[in-house]
Amino acid sequence: MEMGYSDSGGQLEQAPGPGSPVEVKPEKGIIGNCLICGEPSTGKHYGIVACLGCKTFFRRAVVQRQDTVCKLETPCEPKLMARKACRACRYRRCLECGMSKEALQPRRDLIGCRRIRNRPNWAVPPPNVMTEEVSKNALLSLIERLTSCDERIRNKKFEILRSKQEALGLANAIKEGICKPNVDHHSKLMIMLASDISNTTQTDLLTLLEWIKTLPVFKLISQKDKELLLKRFAWNHLIIECGTFTAAANVDDVWLISNGTCMPRNVEKLPEESKVAAPLRQLKLMPQELVALRIIMLMNCGGTPEYSGLEEQTHKVTLAFRDKVIAALFAHYEHIEYPNFPERFGSVILMTSGITSAASAMLESYQVMRLFKIVSFDLISQQLLFNG
């Protein structure tokens, strides 16, 4: 905010006009931008980098619990304008960004509430609650860790791809119709896409390899089973990546691959896989859901070891991890007080079937392109995708 008149009461206070020199901020102490609303922030509050406004807002919201539900039918979108959203949604965003209620202390001026060294006695937890609290926290930090890994790697991927093209710029161009598929330059588009497809596919797969290395369970799995799981997941990975990218670009009726080019398989009919983008866009998967969905699909290896073709050990370990991630996602839902999260979770999981069928459609169309030498794939793609 650009006020701050309060202190200046004594001084001459030269009414800060439009072009006032006062706003020359030497950014004293600014350590970054508020995760919640984007304003400059001078420090961390309740666990995350946040501005003073969001800090105070959060404290008040927790202390005097009120307005817990948004009164709009379509909840406000606090992501870009947290400070203008309604209180319920702003509070929800605080939680989503990771502010922790546990960091709130009881009233300061009550005697006996001081922390003794290293031991917050203001949260003297009964032993049973303690363990439950601990496991909740462990789950929360698990999902946070997984999410940040996933985002870090994905950002890196876009960094790599940007060296070739400005992804969003091209996406916008498409939106404005420059690249809109039509009969006239259909074949031209395909030629243009040939290199794009093999390029982004390779980048996506390398990203996949890098990502699974960050999953601790994968260290417990034999090389053979690793390959099996990877091959099983690779197409789904491509669909999820392209799907979220397409959904984020918010364009209709085209299917974007990660560098922003569009891929119409034919003119009159959109490819099957573009259908998955609509649910993705509508659900607006939060990062935690996205990573959970990916892990669930990667680790979903049927009912029994015999049928999944995996070793007993692998089977047990992956299923256990999958269950843990599901539990972690639920802990996250509860933490951010997401309303009706069972239904939400159901919708998220149900995306798997759409993704699977989109993946087979993609396999089919890529297979054709490969056989007819329209696109040539590198070694890693051959191995992971075409059973090469």
Partner DNA sequence: TCTTTCTGGTCAAAGGTCGG
Partner DNA sequence: CCCGACCTTTGACCAGAAAG
List contacts with a copy of itself (CB under 8 A). 1-3, 5, 15-18, 44, 47-48, 66-67, 70-72, 76, 83-88, 98, 100-103, 105-109, 111-112, 114, 275, 278-283, 296, 300, 302-304, 306-307, 322-323, 326-327, 329-330, 340, 342-343, 345-347, 349-350, 352-354, 356-357
For 112-159, give the DSSP string: T-SPBTTB-GGG---HHHHHHHHHHHHHHHHHHHHHHHHHHHHHHHHH
End-to-end Cα spacing for the chain:
59
Find the binding residues for DNA in span 71-100 (CB under 7 A): 83, 87, 90
> Can you tell me which of 20, 69, 72, 115 binds DNA, judged by CB under 7 A?
115
Instruction: Report which of 299, 304, 283, 306 is spatially closest to residue 354, judged by C-alpha positions.
Output: 283
Q: Residue 294, interface with DNA (CB under 7 A)?
A: no
Query: Please, which residues have CB within 8 angstroms of residue 338's CB and are 6 or more apart in sequence?
Result: 92, 344
Burial zone of 282 (CB within 10 Å; 0-12 exposed, 13-18 middle, 19+ buried):
exposed
51 binds, among DNA, a copy of itself, none (CB under 5 to 8 A by kind): DNA
Residue 322 one-letter amino acid: R
Please state the closest distance from residue 145 (CB atom) to DNA, in A. 19
Mapped onto helix, strand or coil, the DSSP state of residue 90 is: helix
Please state the closest distance from residue 20 (CB atom) to DNA, in A. 11
φ, ψ at 116 (rounded to 5°): -90, 165
Nearer to DNA, 109 or 343 (CB): 109
Q: Residue 5, interface with DNA (CB under 7 A)?
A: yes
Please state the closest distance from residue 36 (CB atom) to DNA, in A. 10
> Can you tell me which of 53, 271, 305, 339 binds DNA, judged by CB under 7 A?
53
CB 234 within 8 A of CB 385: yes
Residues that bind DNA (CB under 7 A): 1, 3-9, 14-15, 43-47, 51-57, 59-60, 63, 66, 83, 87, 90, 103-105, 107-110, 113-115, 117-119
